[in-house]
Structure 1
Amino acid sequence: MSTKDFIEKDYYKVLGVPKDATEAEIKKAYRKLARENHPDANAGDPKAEERFKDASEAYDVLGDPKRRKEYDEARTLFGGGGFRPGGAGGQGGAGTFNFDLGDLFGGGQGQGPGGGAGGPGGFGGGLGDVFGGLFNRGGTGTRTQPRRGQDIESEVTLSFTEAVDGATVPLRMSSSAACKDCAGTGDKNGTPRVCPTCVGTGQVSRGTGGGFSLTDPCVDCKGRGLIAQDPCDTCKGSGRATSSRTMQVRIPAGVSDGQRIRLRGKGAPGERGGPHGDLYVVVHVDKHPVFGRRGDNLTVTVPVTFAEAALGGEVKVPTLGGPPVTLKVPAGTPSGRTMRARGKGAVRKDGTRGDLLVTVEVTVPTELDDKARDALETFQDALADEDPRAALFKAAKGD
Structure 2
Amino acid sequence: MNTLTKFSIKKFRNVAPTTLEFRPGLNVLLGKNAAGKTTLLRLLSTAVGARSEALDEDVLDVSYRVSGGSLDFEHTIKRVRGKEPALSLDPDRPVREELTSIQQTDSFVFEKDGGVVMNAEVFPNEVLLDRAGKRSRMELRSRRAPFAALYMALVTDERDSALTQLANAAFSAQIKSAGRMDESLERFNTLLGLDVRREESSAGNRSTWNLVATPRSILKTLNSIFSKMTLEETSTTFQLEFLERAARVLGYDSANARFDVERLSPEPSRRIVRLSNLRFFFKRPGEEVSHDLLSYGQKRLLAFFAHADASEDLIIADELVNGLHHEWIRACLDEIGGRQAFLTSQNPLLLDFLRFDSVDEVRRTFILCERTSGDAGAQLVWRNPTLDEAESFFLAYQTGIQRVSDILLTNGLW
TM-score band by shorter chain is under 0.3
TM-score scaled by structure 2? 0.27
Q: Considering Cα pairs closer than 8 Å and 6+ residues apart, tell me whether 1 or 2 has the greater RCO.
A: 2
TM normalised by structure 1 equals 0.28
Greater Rg over alpha carbons, structure: 1
